[in-house]
Homo-oligomer: A and B are copies of this chain.
Amino acid sequence: MVGRKKNYNIVIEGGTLLSMVDGEEPVDDARVVISGDRIKEVSVSHNNPIPETNEIIYATDAIILPGLINTHCHSPMVLFRGMADDLPLKTWLYEHIFPAETKYINPDTVYLASLLACVEMIASGTTTCIDGYFFADEIVKALHKSGMRALVAQGVIDFPAPGVPDPKKNLDVASAFLERWMHFSDRIIPGIFCHSPLTCSEKTLLRAQEISAQFDFPLQTHLSETQEEVTEIKQKTSVRPAFYLDELGLLKSNLIAAHAIYLNEEEIDLLAEREVKIAHCPESNMKLGSGIAPVAQTLEKGITVGIGTDGCASNNNLDLFAEMDTTAKLAKVANLDPIIIDARAVLAMATIGGAKVIGLENRIGTIEPGKKADIIIVDTHSPHMTPMYNPYSQLVYSATGGDVRDVIINGNIVYRDRRFTNLDSAEIMDKVTRLCQRITV
């Protein structure tokens, strides 16, 4: 378990700083001073004497930026990475994913798989994630142990699910989960994740929002991920999904809608008015052949949009650098407009945008004094990052997660010179490999 070292100071010295504070330009030869879990000072080094500190991280030939925030993830699904690709959606889900979940998802496998997701996320620069799955207690334990910050939600669906054999009790399980973890750690926020407006009844959706509002926590749901979902909801309710959720009172500023592909103009306006947040998952949407979300249009209406990888079974990695690249490029080609969204805007979605999605914009998402020290350092001394004219472009269009060199979360160095300081990644990989050798679906 990573504990905060209250009086431990770190200085990051040199390198190009992208604070991601609105209106601030990149700063070359930067200095960032961290004290305990917070950022104390951001300045230009000017070769001034380095203040007394416990540790110096030199960042020459590197970019310093806020840790990335993955706004939609099902961590334990790393177990099914590449298990059943290139299949029709229903075959994939009903003949592979659901049976595999029934057979292999239990508290032990969820804990182990979540640890693997953590090492993958940390090694690719993600410091905070929004997760939703079953046996969520185990996800909390794994994410907390890794040192990451997270919103972890207990999955709710009106079918028998891993750990929740009786769907009538799904909200009791979720409620108890919230109570168990609400005061546990300032790095962990518990929440509820309703699977979708199709797989949860009106009553379930309504009650999930009531409980979430009562605890003042975010509520997640998949929304309009497929055309079929829209058609079925319309058949059932005579309105489109966003209006259906609005009638139920679900559309509040604490709602995080994942995917949000099939939105018409009225739905975009409605989501904007209700201050609903969107988790944009372009690679999963592409790989499953679901569709292209109107991300530029939702941003234009002022909706807060973060970027998510979705689960590893439909991506197949948790690399937000790849996801940023795809976010920009897909919006450009979908609109046949190369200027519709630029690299800085995409990086903002993956940092301060993600912080807003989770409701933590006053604590994380930018590098400025007083905020929590969630900072990553990206190595630029490699062929594919040379030359460097524009650090935003370089991160979004040239980098991959493998370029991340150091990761600091909550003032703790969890990854230094591409090595974990508190997790045995080789052991975790080995255990997952041995587990998955038994998985056949």
Using CB atoms and an 8 Å cutoff, list the residues of chain A in contact with chain B. 78-79, 81-83, 85-89, 92, 116, 119-120, 123-124, 227, 283, 285-292, 315-319, 322, 325-326, 328-330, 332-333, 335-343, 381-384, 386-390, 393-394, 397-398, 400-403, 425-426, 428-429, 432-433, 435-437, 439
Do the beta carbons of A338 and B432 come within 8 Å of each other? no
Do the beta carbons of B383 and A123 come within 8 Å of each other? yes
Known: A342-B86, A390-B83. A286 touches B330 (CB 8 A): yes
Do the beta carbons of A283 and B384 come within 8 Å of each other? no
Copies of this chain present in the complex amount to 2
Known: A119-B383, A383-B425, A433-B386. A332 touches B397 (CB 8 A): no
**How many whole Å from A130's CB to the nearest CB in chain B?**
19
Do the beta carbons of B82 and A333 come within 8 Å of each other? no
Do the beta carbons of A381 and B429 come within 8 Å of each other? yes
Do the beta carbons of B329 and A82 come within 8 Å of each other? no
Do the beta carbons of B383 and A116 come within 8 Å of each other? yes
Do the beta carbons of B343 and A398 come within 8 Å of each other? no
Do the beta carbons of B317 and A397 come within 8 Å of each other? yes
Q: Which 3 A-B residue pairs are closest in the complex by CB-CB distance?
A: A387-B436, A286-B329, A82-B393
Do the beta carbons of B433 and A387 come within 8 Å of each other? yes
Cα of A119 to Cα of B300 in the assembled complex, Å:
40
Cα of A418 to Cα of B276 in the assembled complex, Å:
46
Do the beta carbons of B86 and A387 come within 8 Å of each other? no
**How many whole Å from A93's CB to the nearest CB in chain B?**
11
Do the beta carbons of B401 and A432 come within 8 Å of each other? no
Cα of A301 to Cα of B292 in the assembled complex, Å:
26
Do the beta carbons of B401 and A384 come within 8 Å of each other? yes
**How many whole Å from A87's CB to the nearest CB in chain B?**
6
Do the beta carbons of A398 and B330 come within 8 Å of each other? no
Q: Smallest CB-CB separation from A428: which chain B residue?
A: B383
Do the beta carbons of A432 and B397 come within 8 Å of each other? no
Known: A315-B397, A332-B289. A86 touches B338 (CB 8 A): yes
**List of B residues within 8 angstroms of A79 by Cβ:** 387
**List of B residues within 8 angstroms of A85 by Cβ:** 342-343, 390, 393, 397
Q: Smallest CB-CB separation from A118: which chain B residue?
A: B383
Do the beta carbons of B288 and A338 come within 8 Å of each other? yes
Do the beta carbons of B387 and A81 come within 8 Å of each other? yes
